[in-house]
Amino acid sequence: MSEPSLATDVAAPQLTVEQAIANLRHQDTSLRYYAAWWLGKFRIQDPTAVDALIQALSDEEDRTELGGYPLRRNAARALGKLGDPRAVPELIDCLTCSDFYVREAAAQSLGQLQDRRAITPLMHLLSGGVAANQQVPGRPHLTQPCEAVMESLGQLQATEAIALIQPFTDHPVERVRYAAARAMYQLTGEAFYAEKLIQALAGADLKLRRVALSDLGATGYLPAADAIAQAPVENSFKLLALKGILEYQVGQSSSGELTDATLRVMHLMDSLL
Amino acid sequence: MSQTERQLIQAVEQADTPQRLVQAVQALSQAQTQAAIPTLIAVLGYNNPGAALAAVDGLVQLGEVAVPPILQQLDGYNYGARAYATRALAAIADPRALEVLLQAAQFDFAPSVRRAACKGLGMLNWQQLAPETLLSAQTQACEALLTIAQDPDWAIRYAAVVGLQALALKSGSEIRTPIAQQLETLLKTEQDLSVRSRIQLASQQLHPPTVRA
């Protein structure tokens, strides 16, 4: 077991930008896979890198035994980090890819890119409702990447998706309920949904408590700060969740001055060091 | 060792559920007896956060007398135990922990240990040191924390700023003035919003805004 890293950067990169871009077409598919991850990790915003990653979204050569597309997954994840809206149409195409993990990566990245063209295609993945989105037998996921989709719809402030997301707050899978509650809070501002996540912090399963903690961090809901600090979860996860609340609260203050809210959250973070 | 002390220790050693362990550790901590120290330190490594927190409380209440055994029994193979022990050392704030905290803050591989050590470096009761060693000890802590404030991990930088603020508030102007200046410099380059906010807070604590009449 290793500790969760809170680092946003790691040690000096081993590749150059030119090498990484060239490696996306390397004969060795493992080098392509690594290069796509690397370009995202180090946020290489070079337009040539973006073009090459967009091309990699239609790669046919790197396949898993189950028919998955590892390079497409990494390229989709990287494009979310690079912030170039040119990737949006191809990422939208990826939402219909046969590989669940490509769909999931694309859904996440479309939320990060903050482009409202993604809203309708994302909503389409939830269109069958809870009935169409159950656990796939033998696989660790649902039919569609509902959690990532709801997360992104929340980030995109897609209020038109409220009626579609609401039923997922009663989904049989707990983490899906949390993702729905998180999005519902972001879209409606109703404390009821954030309070559901706070209640989840008292659950029996540590992994689920971590998920609820991270969802609360994303809501920025200030009344959750104390519950986060006291939750029976490792301090590293609590610090990350409180960071989310702190940054949301900093964003609320136009002057850039410290407020009672930000001071309160920092006080809690100090106590968790 | 008295009969009661032996019973309290046995209750910890024989606890057969996580809840009973937490209760037994709480009882042993509350007894506030030196005989409990080795057992409380051992509990830090049991991978039961509730019990570990109760043991840290007990050790911190015992204070300076717990410092040498904690330093001797630091667990090189269990970073969870090391993080709790480091938090206990930070809260007791005995400057005999300086060397261990300096090492841990700079070189431990576990972020939780490094964060606890950074905070602890700022909080030491420096006046317990001989006057002739005070300034060099504080300078060492200050230099280490300023380097750590450039770490790639935002949470380590955050902890370094917390340590620097505490250190500056406990130091004379030889240390306090350069820390205040370095914080201003860090604010110019820091990209992380949370760390920036924490630097702002530290600066405010070091230069309280002048009250207008």
Helix/strand/coil for A142: strand
- CB–CB contact A273 B154 (8 Å): no
CA–CA separation, A111 vs B196, rounded Å?
Answer: 25
How buried is residue A232: exposed, middle or buried, by Cβ count under 10 Å (0-12/13-18/19+)? Answer: exposed
B139 touches chain A (CB under 8 A): no
pLDDT mean over B24-41: 95
The better pLDDT of the pair B212, B95 is held by B95
Alpha-carbon dihedral A181, A183, A186, A191, rounded to 10 degrees: -10
- Shortest CA distance from B120: residue in chain A: A273
Structure tokens at B103: 């090492």
Q: What's the pLDDT tens digit per position in A43-86?
A: 999 999 999 999 999 999 999 988 899 999 999 999 999 999 99
Name the residue among A222, A140, A209, A148 with its Cα closest to residue A183: A148
User: What is the rounded distance in angstroms from the CA atom of residue A113 to the CA atom of residue A80?
Assistant: 6
Residues 6+ apart with CB under 8 A from B125: B93, B94, B95
HEC states along chain B?
CCHHHHHHHHHHHHCCCHHHHHHHHHHHHHHCCHHHHHHHHHHCCCCCHHHHHHHHHHHHHHHHHHHHHHHHCCCCCCHHHHHHHHHHHHHHCCHHHHHHHHHHHHHCCCHHHHHHHHHHHHHCCHHHCCHHHHHHHHHHHHHHHHHHCCCCEHHHHHHHHHHHHHHHHCCCHHHHHHHHHHHHHHHHHCCCHHHHHHHHHHHHHHCCCCCCC
Of A235, A239, A263, the CB nearest to B201: A263
Which of B22, B197, B198 has the highest number of chain A CBs within 10 A, making it the mutation to test binding with A? B197
The answer to whether A246 contacts chain B (CB < 8 Å) is yes
- CB pair distance less than 8 Å for A6 and B155: yes
Round to the nearest angstrom and report the end-to-end CA distance of chain B.
62
**pLDDT single digits (tens) A83-97:** 999 999 999 999 999
Q: Which pLDDT value is given to residue A1?
A: 41
Task: Find the angle CA(B183)-CA(A252)-CA(B205) to the nearest 5 degrees.
Answer: 30
**Residue B206 near residue B183, CB atoms below 8 Å:** yes
Q: What distance in Å separates residue B153's CA from the closest CA in chain A?
A: 4
Q: Is the pLDDT of residue A8 over 60?
A: no
Please give the C-alpha separations between residue A243 and each of A129, A268, B155, in angstroms, as whole numbers. Answer: 33, 10, 9
pLDDT (mean) for B87-93:
96
Under 8 Å CB pairs connecting chains A and B tally to 65
Q: Which residues in chain A have Cβ-Cβ distances shorter than 8 Å to B118?
A: 273
Name which residue leads in pLDDT, B33 or A9.
Answer: B33
Q: Which helix (H) or strand (E) holds A75?
A: helix A70-82
First to last CA, chain A: 20
Q: Are B91 and B63 in contact (CB under 8 A)?
A: no
Distance of CA A102 to the CA centre of its chain: 13
Closest by Cβ to B152, choosing from A7, A235, A247: A7
Would you state the pLDDT for residue B208?
Answer: 66
Q: Across residues B29-37, what is the average pLDDT?
A: 95
Q: What is the mean pLDDT of residues B122-141?
A: 94
What percentage of chain B exceeds 70 in pLDDT?
A: 97
Report CB contact under 8 Å: A273, B152: no
Mean pLDDT (whole number) for B154-161: 98
**Predicted confidence band at A7 (pLDDT cuts at 50, 70, 90)?**
low
Complex ipTM above 0.95?
no
Please tell me which of the candidates B155, B156, B197 has its beta carbon nearest to residue A250.
Answer: B197
CA nearest neighbour of B156 among B123, B192, B126, B182: B192
- A258 and B159 within 8 Å at the Cβ level: the answer is no
Of all residues in chain A, the one with the smallest CA distance to B118 is: A273
Q: Please give the single-letter amino acid code of residue B156.
A: I
The answer on pLDDT for A135 being more than 90 is no
The span from the CA of A167 to the CA of A184, in Å, is 10
Cβ–Cβ below 8 Å for B49 and A234: yes
Cα-trace Rg, chain B: 19
Give the tokens for residue B56: 């840290």
Tokens of A261: 């809210």
Q: Count other C-beta atoms under 10 Å from residue B170's C-beta.
A: 17
Q: How far is B1 from chain A (nearest CA, A)?
A: 34
pLDDT at B207: 85
